[in-house]
Chain A
Amino acid sequence: MSRAEWLREDRLPHIYCSGCGNGTVINCTLAAVDEVGWRRDETVFISGIGCSSRAPGYINTDSLHTTHGRALAFATGVKLARPDLKVVVFTGDGDLAAIGGNHFIHACRRNVDMTVVCMNNQIYGMTGGQGSPTTPPGAISTTTPYGASEPAFDLADLAIAAGANYVARWTSYHVTELTKAIATGLQTPGLAFIEVRTQCPTNYGRSNRLREVSDMIEYLRSHAMLVQKYNRLIAEGKPIPEGTFTIGELVRRNRPAMGVQP
């Protein structure tokens, strides 16, 4: 099947700002779905509220654009009622980690058979750039005008602690690796969580001296460190540069899962 068949072209133009990383993530996800050979009529995309959550509206399958934070609870209902359907959830940092935090940890605990792709742009983009639970300390947003003062959530750590079978983190720069990780997630029974650190030049970059899209992508590239290298540096007692985050496959395991098609 050609990738274009997965898109609702009659919905274009999309709402995303120029330079937004979400389109890249959607593209990688569709490439992965296509690569593993899923059919359009057996695949359901589900989302909550926010920029990331508009993605299912552009995809030509059954799709459920739900309420803020609740996508995983809706998805649990879909998957348990019809395990033969294949479920992908798009979410963002505000949707998943703030208002939807409880559903996130419980979906991971249940290890419901679905793939969750989180576009973490570290800001509430849809509402115009307010600080979220992943906004890094010191970052400027419209609700943290003097710099964010709260510690940020590590979403991948949260998913690992809560029990997801597969957890990976990449950025919108690492399109090949990201596509592979999503494809692995799609084929892993249980909950697969893929965090994608992505750029929001309009509402994050502009206030944080990353005005150009290329500056933001370069920031993501240069601060991402492969988890193997990170672990080696820690073991050797070497310093970790400030602002570093790990990328790569962070967990792959086989805990009991729910909603797996028999």
Chain B
Amino acid sequence: MSRTEFMQGNVACAEGALAAGCRFFGGYPITPSTEIAETMARRLPKVGGVFISMEDELGSIAAVIGAAWTGARAMTATSGPGFSLMMENIGYAAMTETPCVIVNIQRGGPSTGQPTRASQGDMLQCRFGSHGDYSTIALSPSSVQEMFDLTAKAFNLADRFRVPTFLMADEIIGHMRERMTIPDKVEIAGRPPLPEARLPFEAGEDGVPGFAPFGSGRAIHVTGLTHDERGYPDTTDPEAHERLVRRLVAKVESARREIADYEVVNPDARVVFVTYGAPSRTVQQVIHDHPDEGIGHLRLRVVWPFPEFALAEFPDARVFLMPELNMGQISREVERHVGQPVVPIPKLGGDLHTPADLLRALEAYL
């Protein structure tokens, strides 16, 4: 039976992972994500899973990828500098098509920055942070309920597309306590298996190869080098490299509509807020306090791959307003998809925008 609880966002994230069948967590303590590791340390052994505190974040993501290749649903959680340290192996996970979930409870940067304050400063890093071309999936929760729901969903997306999948939360959502409901059961899609007749990295029409875990007798060679469909290194053939990298990008980008997850409020609006994560809450407050069909809201639960078609849900929009806890990282992405003006409303320092901040911006355009 489903049950309703009053829970912290980071704890809800861990519970969502457990409900989705996550049975391996490798991590390293870092504020403000640590409660996720602590919850996993307490809960995983009781469900037959493995928790390990690794020597650093490079080791954490490495252990997670290793565990994922045994077939386990595996996860790590980090923040700020820890996320930067994971970048090389995130590229390895993308190149080797390893399904895994990486949670980032974003804090203020650059560098050590503001360990205890919220930020959305890593939204481009999660898309472009490792070297080379690749695509990944990034979800952005804006409530404790979504910390649970989207973490569980991240495992399904990671398995379905065989990509490292990010839960890009922030300190506010991670440390907030709210009422939330743990459902009876969470849908677990699982990894499509590697058909007997297929080579290990030979994809079907959707560009995603089936998965055969270690120990299943397929003798799969996994390498971060450019490889052919057998998994064998082929590092100098331009065609082999182009074929692989184009597939790694296309398998995610061509599925943008399948992956997309967003909420539309007042589609006839002339002024439209576009948000993801914590700033969504301020916009919801403004719309609650000032009911006006002229004010629209597009709330993204999936930020990457970017669902540009969602912007077309507001055919009368004259302007898009974008409150973000950064200098306008996703505003730039919106800008390249629309003809209307896109106005970034950046907020740095760790506080949310106040309703008054957004009302001031609204007055200029309504």
Give me the interface of A with B, judged by CB distance under 8 Å: 8, 11, 40-42, 44, 46, 56-57, 60-67, 70, 73-82, 84-85, 102-103, 106
Whether A65 contacts B223 by the Cβ 8 Å rule is yes
Contact present for B59 and A106 (CB under 8 Å): yes
CA distance in complex: A1, B120 (Å): 56
Residues of B within 8 A of A81 (CB): 23-24, 50, 66-67, 70, 72, 74
Task: Report 11 cross-chain contacts, Cβ distance below 8 Å, ordered by A residue.
Answer: A64-B222, A65-B224, A70-B59, A76-B52, A76-B54, A76-B62, A77-B64, A77-B68, A81-B50, A82-B214, A106-B55
Which chain A positions have C-beta within 8 A of B69?
62, 64, 78
Residue from A11, A63, A77 in contact with B26 in the complex, judged by beta carbons closer than 8 Å = A77
**Leading 7 A-B pairs by shortest Cβ distance:** A77-B66, A77-B63, A73-B62, A73-B59, A81-B67, A65-B223, A74-B66
Complex Cα distance, B23 from A111, in Å, reads 22
Listed in ascending order, the chain B residues whose CB lies under 8 Å from chain A are 23-24, 26, 50, 52, 54-56, 58-60, 62-72, 74, 88-89, 92, 214-225, 232-233
- The CA-CA distance from A56 to B52 in the complex, in Å, is 26
Choose one: B55, B56, B65, B88; the contact of A74 (CB below 8 Å): B65
Contacts of B223 in A (CB 8 A): 57, 65
Residues of A within 8 A of B54 (CB): 73, 76, 106
B62 near A78 with CB under 8 A, answer no
Do the beta carbons of B218 and A62 come within 8 Å of each other?
Answer: yes
A74 to nearest B CB, angstroms?
4
For B26, the chain A residues whose CB sits under 8 A away are 76-77
Q: Could you say which residues of chain B place their CB within 8 Å of the CB of A40?
A: 219
Q: A66-B224, A76-B66 are in contact. Are A84 and B215 (CB under 8 A)?
A: yes
Q: Is the CB of B70 within 8 A of A85?
A: yes
Complex Cα distance A251/B56, Å?
Answer: 28
Residue contact B215 to A41, C-beta cutoff 8 Å? yes
Query: What A residues does B52 contact at CB under 8 A?
Result: 76-77, 80
- Where chain B touches its partner, the secondary structure class is mixed
With contacts A63-B222, A67-B224 taken as known, whether A42 is within 8 angstroms of B215 at the C-beta atoms is: yes
Q: How far is the CB of A185 from chain B (nearest CB, A)?
A: 20
Besides the known contacts A76-B59, A78-B69, A82-B70, 11 further A-B residue pairs in the complex with CB atoms under 8 A apart: A60-B219, A62-B218, A62-B221, A74-B62, A74-B66, A75-B66, A76-B26, A82-B214, A82-B215, A85-B70, A106-B55
A79 to B214, CA, bound (A): 11
CA distance A227 to B232 in the complex (A): 41
Residue among A57, A60, A78, A81 with most chain B CB within 10 A: A81
Q: How far, in angstroms, from A252 to B222 measured CA to CA in the complex? A: 33
Residue of A nearest to B220 (CB): A62
CA distance A8 to B223 in the complex (A): 15
What A residues does B62 contact at CB under 8 A? 66-67, 70, 73-74, 76-77, 103
Closest to B66 in A: A77
* Closest A residue to B88 using CB positions: A67
Instruction: Count chain A CB atoms within 10 A of each CB in B72, B217, B220, B223 and give the residue with the most.
Output: B223
- Which residue from A41, A65, A106 sits with its C-beta under 8 Å from B221? A65
Q: Say how far A110's CB is from chain B's closest CB, in angstroms.
A: 8
CA distance A74 to B66 in the complex (A): 5
Closest Cβ neighbor of B91 among chain A residues: A67
Q: Is the CB of B221 within 8 A of A57?
A: yes
Q: With A57-B232, A62-B215, A81-B24 in contact, is A74–B63 under 8 Å at CB?
A: yes
What is the CA–CA distance of A56 and B233 in the complex, to the nearest angstrom? 12
Question: Is A80 a contact of B218 with CB atoms below 8 Å?
Answer: no
Known contacts A57-B233, A80-B50, A82-B70; decide if A73 and B218 are in contact (CB<8 Å). Answer: no
User: Which residue of A has the minimal Cβ distance to B24?
Assistant: A81
By the criterion CB–CB under 8 Å, are A85 and B215 in contact?
yes
Residues of A within 8 A of B92 (CB): 66-67
Give, as a whole number of angstroms, the nearest-CB distance from B60 to chain A: 8
Contact call B217/A41, Cβ cutoff below 8 A: yes
Is B58 touching A73 in the complex (CB atoms < 8 A)?
yes
Cβ–Cβ contact B221 & A78, under 8 A: no
- Verify B214–A80 contact, CB threshold 8 A: no
Instruction: From B50, B60, B68, B214, name the one whose CB has the most chain A CB atoms within 10 angstroms.
Output: B214
Which partner residue on chain A sits nearest B59 by CB separation? Answer: A73
Q: Which residues of B sit under 8 angstroms from A42, Cβ to Cβ?
A: 215
A68 to B64, CA, bound (A): 16
B220–A80 touching, CB < 8 Å: no
Whether B225 and A65, one on each chain, are in contact in the complex, defined by CB atoms closer than 8 angstroms, is: yes
Instruction: Tell whether, in the assembled complex, residue A73 and residue B219 are in contact, meaning their CB atoms are under 8 Å apart.
Output: no
- Determine the chain A residues whose CB is within 8 A of the CB of B56 once the complex forms: 102
Q: Are B63 and A73 in contact (CB under 8 A)?
A: yes
